[in-house]
Chains A and B, each alone.
Chain A
């Protein structure tokens, strides 16, 4: 076993009121792929930000190449040879591959930019990684996977010793993932240390040598991937069994409330039809870009549909904008909590009452008493933890913000609740609470659509599962039929009728 190139010793990071990291240890060796495992909210991103100099730790040591050091900013970390590759990376879409790779560290010759040299080196790099790309192609013409490759090439161009990959496969197709693996193996051969962040076990088994598990900001343990069973890692990561995570109640399914037929939107989805019944939780699974969120946005009137009809309780309706959708009893908890769900710089009261602000106003004047009552009722129902209803939403943790979004939509007293990735990026405890809440609402007759990219969540919660692939509905499963194998197959386009 080689020496540690990078070592973290009991790294702790406080944010006001929150202990984001609590005594994290990490040992990274050259020529190894090290998996950093943890659920959303476990502290992985914070740790990466410390490694790349974005944050300074409150306590603890960073030892890099045998020396203790602290980075003042991201440039210092990059100069030292630590670089992170982000998911939807910091690229300049209008600029070419070469320009992107050398952005911030242009080569110079006689005082002017040496484009010839940069181009030559880029060609070299791309060749080394066996990527078939022209250096002058504008990045906006590249696919997600290719952009990733460019990011990796950028890391290599500055001769990085430690490369951090933050969920690199989350937006990739299976074939692209294979490409990525190839490059990771190449990097390994070149004796780079790679930190591979993921919560997908297939990936970890396939590509990683060792792992460290974080949970709720704490160091849980580490080991070698070859010597540790998947179950053991799952237990370390989740800290509780799956039954507790998904408290699905048995409910009697009522009559059909929503029926959509042949919904289409050019470039997003085509001919999507399904129905939804009272008390039902309908899961929508698919890979990123399968068109699930887009369908929901279409139903809620955020995007206009090209084609298709929507029936509510048997009657055809036209939904022009979110307001009409809301008045017809539909609520939509969007995917991106921070920009679509809550208004960060507004109080919880203002957030929770925003959809119903006209309802609690008379002749335009907001009824202050009704406002307080509604906030308290629905805020308490969701058990939001905050210093008061007057504080801004930005002061809350991700999980509590999500509860605010749920509270504001409950306040509209909907009959149909559409949830897009309802537990993305929230801590395990809140996650379970949100699941319990969804179950409970469904048992009271609410019809729920739950879009999720987490298979356990889909399997654990849904009465029925619809799977989408590249804008089309590929399969539909009952709770009994659904299992991870068939769902993954349907989600990657491997259906019986269309094989390939």
Chain B
């Protein structure tokens, strides 16, 4: 109890020091500030190395490579913020894409297969939520199982085959541009979604409850928050948007293979955690995640431009992630030490 008090008092003291210098320090030492600085630094470095980086057409087109993962990250913020985890989203994409491919092979039109894709995603999310909430099984265990299950279904039926026949016009969602511009549809779609998620997270009672649950599920429950219902909703949302991503991805690559979106669950979680959302829940905001999405996306793009190998990219991401997890801890202890010194003097 006392240690909590101590930490907290320090943050209050920090708040009270409102000099300009301190303000700047606070801003920069906040994780989002760090991310923004790294992003700017990265842009400067790459644009000096290669003339192809700061090119409007390239910058726009590069978003095709990471917008789908970015959309996965949005509902994942809700899941992680409330202290849960879902590692089955990539498998949901596989299942949902499989369902769409199947529907398409049966002769369904664009509108129908989109609806199928999204609904299958939502059902898969509800399946996760049911086992996690109703039976109280830890989310990591449930989604680990459903990860194999969902992908297994499409693997068992498709084996090494693929669905490749999709209706005409279906390709727009993953490949198209906004009419008369060079702006990809996926980018605009993502930005609209991001605005929606930002609104829910930071302006609504739902968002408020997410933070409450993430910080203390017990206290939230004792305060009349329907914790189970909200956690369930989060998993359904996560599945639903995995379905949406399945639509975009299938549309973009024009085929469904069982190994579609392999490993994307970890990339989505990486974006969220790197964005400063605490893996134990309760802390984080949408700005950080947006920054981390564009940071990682353009980092990979830039490295690709200068012919760095994929391994270097993976290592770089790993390094950033460790930094994201470590830095707040280091910051805390530095602040603590400073306060102690301040106290002893007074």
A positions within 8 Å CB-CB of B: 14-18, 20, 45-46, 49, 55, 58, 302, 321-323, 325-326, 332, 334, 338-346, 350, 353-355, 357-358, 361, 364-366, 387, 390-398, 408, 412
The yes or no answer to B155 lying at the interface (CB within 8 A) is: no
Closest to A397 in B: B5
How many whole Å from B133's CB to the nearest CB in chain A?
13
Q: Among A58, A302, A357, A396, which residue has its beta carbon within 8 angstroms of that of B208?
A: A357
The yes or no answer to B216 lying at the interface (CB within 8 A) is: yes
| In contact, A345 and B224 (Cβ under 8 angstroms) | no
Chain B: residues with Cβ within 8 Å of the partner, total of 39
Given A338-B4, A343-B215, A354-B208, 20 more pairs with CB closer than 8 A: A15-B5, A16-B339, A55-B2, A321-B226, A322-B221, A339-B216, A344-B4, A344-B215, A344-B216, A345-B283, A350-B212, A354-B220, A366-B204, A391-B8, A393-B8, A394-B4, A395-B11, A398-B1, A408-B223, A412-B224
Q: Among B7, B204, B212, which residue has its beta carbon within 8 angstroms of that of A364?
A: B204
| In contact, B7 and A365 (Cβ under 8 angstroms) | no
| In contact, A343 and B208 (Cβ under 8 angstroms) | no
How many whole Å from B284's CB to the nearest CB in chain A?
12
How many whole Å from B283's CB to the nearest CB in chain A?
7
Complex interface: chain A residues within 8 A of B231 (CB): none
How many whole Å from A180's CB to the nearest CB in chain B?
26
A325 to B282, CA, bound (A): 26
How many whole Å from A349's CB to the nearest CB in chain B?
10
Among A20, A340, A350, A398, residue most surrounded by chain B Cβ atoms (within 10 Å): A340
Q: Among A16, A20, A357, A398, which residue has its beta carbon within 8 angstroms of that of B343?
A: A16
Q: Among B1, B13, B216, which residue has its beta carbon within 8 angstroms of that of A343?
A: B216
How many whole Å from A250's CB to the nearest CB in chain B?
33
Interface residues of B in 214-229 (CB under 8 A from A): 215-216, 218-226
- What would 15 A/B residue contacts be, using CB atoms closer than 8 Å? A15-B6, A45-B2, A325-B224, A326-B224, A339-B216, A345-B215, A345-B282, A346-B211, A354-B225, A358-B205, A364-B205, A366-B205, A391-B11, A391-B12, A397-B5
How many whole Å from A296's CB to the nearest CB in chain B?
11
Complex interface: chain A residues within 8 A of B212 (CB): 343, 346, 350, 354
A44 to B221, CA, bound (A): 32
A358 to B223, CA, bound (A): 12
| In contact, B215 and A322 (Cβ under 8 angstroms) | no
The yes or no answer to B105 lying at the interface (CB within 8 A) is: no
| In contact, B209 and A387 (Cβ under 8 angstroms) | no
Complex interface: chain B residues within 8 A of A341 (CB): 219, 222
Q: Among B7, B218, B283, which residue has its beta carbon within 8 angstroms of that of A394?
A: B7
| In contact, A16 and B10 (Cβ under 8 angstroms) | yes
Closest to B219 in A: A343
| In contact, B215 and A346 (Cβ under 8 angstroms) | yes
Complex interface: chain A residues within 8 A of B9 (CB): 15-18, 395
| In contact, B8 and A344 (Cβ under 8 angstroms) | yes
| In contact, A355 and B204 (Cβ under 8 angstroms) | no
Complex interface: chain A residues within 8 A of B200 (CB): 364
How many whole Å from B216's CB to the nearest CB in chain A?
5
The yes or no answer to B16 lying at the interface (CB within 8 A) is: yes
Q: Which 8 A-B pairs have the closest CB atoms?
A: A394-B8, A16-B9, A395-B8, A326-B224, A364-B204, A361-B205, A357-B205, A323-B224
Q: Among A332, A358, A361, A365, which residue has its beta carbon within 8 angstroms of that of B222?
A: A332
| In contact, A394 and B5 (Cβ under 8 angstroms) | yes
Closest to A363 in B: B204
| In contact, A334 and B220 (Cβ under 8 angstroms) | no
A342 to B205, CA, bound (A): 17
The yes or no answer to B311 lying at the interface (CB within 8 A) is: no
B positions within 8 Å CB-CB of A: 1-2, 4-13, 15-16, 200, 203-206, 208-209, 211-212, 215-216, 218-226, 282-283, 339, 343-344
A302 to B222, CA, bound (A): 7
| In contact, A391 and B13 (Cβ under 8 angstroms) | no
Closest to B340 in A: A16
Complex interface: chain A residues within 8 A of B224 (CB): 321-323, 325-326, 354-355, 412
How many whole Å from A7's CB to the nearest CB in chain B?
24
| Contacts A16-B339, A391-B12; A46 near B2 (Cβ below 8 A) | yes
Closest to A300 in B: B222
A387 to B12, CA, bound (A): 8
| In contact, B223 and A322 (Cβ under 8 angstroms) | yes
A358 to B207, CA, bound (A): 11
| Contacts A339-B218, A343-B219; A49 near B2 (Cβ below 8 A) | yes
Complex interface: chain B residues within 8 A of A58 (CB): 344
A393 to B224, CA, bound (A): 19
| Contacts A344-B8, A391-B12; A361 near B204 (Cβ below 8 A) | yes
How many whole Å from B331's CB to the nearest CB in chain A?
15
A14 to B224, CA, bound (A): 37
A350 to B11, CA, bound (A): 17
Complex interface: chain B residues within 8 A of A393 (CB): 8
Complex interface: chain B residues within 8 A of A344 (CB): 4, 8, 215-216
How many whole Å from B345's CB to the nearest CB in chain A?
12
Closest to B199 in A: A365
| Contacts A343-B216, A350-B211, A392-B11; A355 near B223 (Cβ below 8 A) | yes
Complex interface: chain A residues within 8 A of B209 (CB): 354, 357
Complex interface: chain A residues within 8 A of B282 (CB): 345
Complex interface: chain B residues within 8 A of A365 (CB): 203-205
| In contact, A343 and B2 (Cβ under 8 angstroms) | no
A323 to B161, CA, bound (A): 51
| In contact, A395 and B12 (Cβ under 8 angstroms) | yes
A321 to B229, CA, bound (A): 12
A13 to B15, CA, bound (A): 23
How many whole Å from B275's CB to the nearest CB in chain A?
18
Among A16, A58, A357, A397, residue most surrounded by chain B Cβ atoms (within 10 Å): A16
How many whole Å from A422's CB to the nearest CB in chain B?
14
A17 to B216, CA, bound (A): 25
How many whole Å from B257's CB to the nearest CB in chain A?
40
Complex interface: chain A residues within 8 A of B16 (CB): 387
How many whole Å from A239's CB to the nearest CB in chain B?
22
A18 to B209, CA, bound (A): 31
A46 to B5, CA, bound (A): 13
A364 to B208, CA, bound (A): 10
Complex interface: chain B residues within 8 A of A332 (CB): 222
| In contact, B220 and A343 (Cβ under 8 angstroms) | yes
A416 to B12, CA, bound (A): 35
Closest to A297 in B: B222
Q: Among B5, B221, B344, which residue has its beta carbon within 8 angstroms of that of A18?
A: B5
How many whole Å from A214's CB to the nearest CB in chain B?
15
How many whole Å from B145's CB to the nearest CB in chain A?
25
A16 to B17, CA, bound (A): 15
A387 to B9, CA, bound (A): 10
| In contact, A354 and B223 (Cβ under 8 angstroms) | yes
How many whole Å from A363's CB to the nearest CB in chain B?
9
| In contact, B12 and A17 (Cβ under 8 angstroms) | yes
A163 to B135, CA, bound (A): 45
A18 to B204, CA, bound (A): 36
| In contact, A340 and B222 (Cβ under 8 angstroms) | yes
A45 to B13, CA, bound (A): 25
Complex interface: chain A residues within 8 A of B12 (CB): 17, 387, 391-392, 395
Complex interface: chain B residues within 8 A of A345 (CB): 215, 282-283
Complex interface: chain B residues within 8 A of A325 (CB): 224
